[in-house]
């Protein structure tokens, strides 16, 4: 299985609200707008949109990603597997001279660092376009959790929220009442500040 299938990501977008009509039609009528400073602080980053001819994006890159996963799972056995695959020859690492083992171990460590660097960028790759859907327009940002790393739950405070968007005015009232009940827990200093962050998409289209 490709290592690409094991990467967990949380997706965001950096689209001005006045230009978010198409995005709303694809992803729903609700949104929480968080500050860019919060995103950067939490290592959330813009994705790189790629196509089949994008530099550095090839089958060889994916092959190296899978090699890195094999090393994590199999240790030094991956060297034997790699030699057998590329050179159609089986070697017994245990019978190699000590100097050869030192060279192999040194190269293994350097290769692992290079593969980890490549791995860190994979969650931030996305197709520029698929069929008629142009993902480039979504201006996506992502947070990632790489294989083998501990989960990182994203947390934000009330002060990190720029706006909360609902589908109707009735829903904004419901959310206001609920937030007012949780005011002390969420460290909301003023009830007026709650209303200032609540919108419907209709209000945005009409007033902005």
Predicted pLDDT of residue 44: 92
* The pLDDT of residue 157 is above 70: yes
How far apart are the C-alpha atoms of 43 and 20, rounded to whole Å? Answer: 24
The number of distinct structural domains making up the chain is: 2
Residues 22-44, mean pLDDT to the nearest whole number = 89
Domain boundary among 145, 171, 196: 145
Residue 185, number of CB atoms within 10 A of its CB = 9
How far apart are the C-alpha atoms of 89 and 172, rounded to whole Å? Answer: 68
52 and 107 part of one domain: yes
52 and 126 part of one domain: yes
Residues 59-80, mean pLDDT to the nearest whole number = 67
118 and 167 part of one domain: no
Residue 119 included in any domain: yes
Longest dimension (CA), the chain: 76
Residue 152 included in any domain: no
Q: Give 49's Cβ-side CA count (13 Å radius).
A: 12
Residue 177 included in any domain: yes
Residues 160-169, mean pLDDT to the nearest whole number = 92
Query: Which residue, among 201, 205, 206, has the nearest Cα to 165 in the 3D structure?
Result: 201
Residue 153 included in any domain: no
36 and 128 part of one domain: yes
131 and 187 part of one domain: no
pLDDT in tens, 84-97: 777 777 777 777 78
Residue 100, number of CB atoms within 10 A of its CB = 11
164 and 70 part of one domain: no
136 and 168 part of one domain: no
* The pLDDT of residue 7 is above 70: no
Residue 46 included in any domain: yes
Residues 91-112, mean pLDDT to the nearest whole number = 78
pTM: 0.68
**Which domain does 91 fall in, by range?**
3-145
107 and 174 part of one domain: no
94 and 192 part of one domain: no
Residues 161-171, mean pLDDT to the nearest whole number = 92
% of the chain at pLDDT higher than 70: 79
């Amino acid at each position: 299985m490709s290592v690409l299938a094991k990467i967990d990501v949380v997706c965001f977008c950096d689209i001005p609200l006045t230009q978010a009509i198409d995005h709303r039609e694809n992803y729903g009528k609700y949104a929480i707008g968080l500050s860019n400073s919060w995103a950067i602080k939490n290592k959330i980053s813009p994705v790189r949109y790629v196509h089949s001819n994008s530099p550095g994006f090839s089958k060889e890159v994916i092959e190296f990603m899978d090699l890195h996963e094999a090393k994590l799972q199999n240790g030094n056995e991956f060297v034997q597997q790699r030699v057998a695959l590329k050179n159609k020859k089986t070697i017994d690492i245990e019978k190699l001279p000590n100097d050869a083992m030192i060279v192999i171990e040194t190269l293994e460590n350097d290769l692992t660092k290079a593969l980890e660097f490549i791995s860190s960028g994979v969650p931030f790759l996305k197709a520029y376009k698929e069929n008629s859907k142009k993902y480039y327009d979504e201006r996506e940002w992502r947070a990632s959790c790489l294989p083998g790393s501990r989960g990182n739950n994203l947390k934000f405070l009330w002060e990190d929220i720029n706006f909360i968007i609902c589908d109707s005015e009735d829903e904004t009232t419901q959310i206001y009442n609920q937030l007012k009940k949780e005011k002390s827990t969420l460290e909301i200093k003023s009830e007026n500040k709650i209303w200032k962050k609540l919108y419907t998409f209709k209000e945005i289209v009409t007033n902005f």
